[in-house]
Amino acid sequence: MTSLLFGISLSALLSTTSLLVVLFRVSPLTAPAYALPAFFVSLFLAVSSIATLLCYALWRFIPLHSWDLGQILGISVRQGVFLGVATVILVLFHLLGLLTWWIAVMIYGVFILIELALNS
């Protein structure tokens, strides 16, 4: 396991732990100025790092292209960050009361189209 992959794995563990701490220990009613930003940052980090690891495993064990491991990891990080940003936007829309199922599909669709454009 490379040091970067180990760092991403450690980041996934720590960010998931911080998300659970924010969910179970921080009250948005008593400290909304700290609770909401902490929730969104920990959600972004948790989703991005876990999605990066899942995309890396997918691209590594289903070899559709002849990429080296560095390129696979770079693409996986980009896909994980895109999925994290889309998920944070989705939760923000839900918090604002603007989310419907077709808006969720459009948000993820925009990020899928950006990824397809960057992959070419």
Residue pair 79/119 in contact by the 8 Å Cβ criterion: no
User: What pLDDT was estimated at residue 1?
Assistant: 55
DSSP-derived letter for residue 95 is H
Quickly state the pLDDT bin for 68 (edges 50, 70, 90). confident
Rounded Cα–Cα distance for residues 21 and 17 (Å): 6
pLDDT at 95: 92
- Residue 102 neighbours by CB under 8 Å, 6+ apart: none
Angle subtended by helix axes 32-61 and 3-25, to nearest 10: 140
> Whole-prediction pTM value?
0.89
The region that residue 97 occupies, defined by phi over 0 for left and psi between -120 and 50 for alpha, beta otherwise, is left
